[in-house]
Amino acid sequence: MIRRLAVLALCAFLCACDSDVGDRVGETVAQLSGRLAEARDRALEGLDRGITRTRGQYLDATPGTLSYEVTLPSRGLDRTVRIIQPEAMVANAPVLVLLHYSGGTNENMANLTRIGRLAADHGVWLVLPDGVAGQWNDDPAAPSSVDDIAFLDDVIAMMISDAPIDPSRITMAGMSNGGFMAARYACERAESIAGFASVVGSMRNTLAQSCQPTVPVPALLIRGTSDLIVLYANPLGLLSAQDMFDLWAGFNGCAGDATIESLPDTADDNTQVELQRATGCIGSGDVRLYSIIGGGHAWPDTDPYTSITTLALGRISREFAATDLIWSFLEPLSR
C-alpha cells in the first residue's frame, strides 16, 4: 500500500516523464499565491500528504495534473477543499466547482467522475470542497449551524484571489446532494457562477419557493427515470425532473416551446436518453434535461465500486459520459 501511494503521489505531482518536470512545477508554484501556494508547497514537501487522506479512499492520479488540499476557515469551521489543477497552467483559466454526493468526499467524487482528465485535457481548474460530515446544507428552510452558501462564497473568493483564473468563467456541478446544493447556490448566488449542472439531484420545494436568481443561469439536468432515491416524477417534498426543468426555463426567460428528441441508442445497456431543451431563452440561459430512460441514481458512464452499489442505486447508463457532457455544456459559458 505504501508503495502504491508513493507511485500515485509521484505520478500526480511530478508526472515524472522527463528531466524538466521539476522546473515546470517550480514555475507553476510561482504563479500561485496565498493558501493555494502554501498548500502545494506542503504537498510537494511530503508527496503522499497531498495525494491521499486515509478514509478508505485514495485519489487516482491523472498525468498532467497537480493535486493538493487546502484548509479554508469559514464561519468558525476549518473546511477542506481539494484542488486539481493543470500542470501546464495558462492565464484566465476556467474553474469547475464539483460537489460530492451525500456521505462522499472530494476523493470519492474525483475518482467516480474521473474528473482529473478535464484539467489535463482542457486546462480547467477543478475545485472539490468537502461538506461537513459528508453532507451539504441544500435546504434554506432547515435549521443548521452550517452555512454552505458562505463556504462556497469563500471557496470562490480564494480561487479568484490566489489562482490565475477567469472570475467570469466559474461554474458548478454536483451529484445527488451535491446537485441539490449546486441548484441552491445558483438560486442565491446567480451572479457568481456562469452555469451549473445537477446529476441525479433535484430541488426541495422550500428552495423552489424562495429561489430568486438575479440573472439567468444556464442549467444542465441529468435524471434517471428509474431512480429510487431521487424520484424522477412525483417525489415527496421535491421537484420532479419536469418541474425543475420548467422552473429554470422560467427563470431564464425561455419563451419558446421546448424541443424533445430521443438521442441515438449507442450502448447495449438497457437505457435510452431523451433530451428536452428550452428555447427562446434570454442570452445564454440554456436549459437542458437529459432523461435517462431506465437509468438509476448514478453518474452516467462510470464504473460502480461494487456490484452491491449497482444493485442499490440502479442501472448505470453508458449512452454518454456525464463528465464530458457537463464540460461541453459549461466550458463556453461566462458571466
The CATH code for residues 72-330 is 3.40.50.1820
Task: Retrieve residue 159's grid coordinates.
Answer: 480561487
- Burial track 12-44 (b if 16+ CB lie within 10 A, e otherwise): bbbbeeeeeeeebbeebeeebeebbbebbeebb
Taking 70 as the pLDDT cut, the residues of the chain under it are: 1-31, 44-58, 305-308
How, if at all, do strands 65-74 and 77-86 pair? antiparallel
Task: Retrieve residue 322's grid coordinates.
Answer: 456525464
Torsion-angle region of 6 (φ positive above 0: left; ψ -120 to 50: alpha; else: beta): alpha
**98-114 pLDDT tens trace:** 999 999 999 999 999 99
Per-domain boundaries in the chain? 72-330
pLDDT at 76: 94
Q: Say if CB 122 and CB 331 are below 8 A apart.
A: yes
Sign of CA dihedral 256, 330, 220, 209: negative
**165-201 pLDDT tens trace:** 999 999 999 999 999 999 999 999 999 999 999 999 9
Going by C-beta distance under 8 Å and a sequence separation of 6 or more, which residues neighbour residue 306? none
Three-state secondary structure string covering 51-113: HEEECCEECCCCCCEEEEEEEEEECCEEEEEEEEEECCCCCCEEEEEEECCCCCCHHHHHHHH
How far is residue 25's CA from residue 43's CA, in Å, rounded to a whole number?
12
Angle at 101 between CA 95 and CA 104, to 5 degrees: 100
How far is residue 257's CA from residue 189's CA, in Å, rounded to a whole number?
27
| Chain position carrying cell 493555494 | 36
Three-state secondary structure string covering 255-323: CCCCEEEECCCCCCCCCEEEEEECCCCCCCCCEEEEEEECCCCCCCCCCCCCHHHHHHHCCCCCCCCHH
How, if at all, do strands 57-58 and 52-53 pair? antiparallel
Q: Shortest CA distance to 93 belongs to which of 112, 121, 71?
A: 121
pLDDT at 306: 66
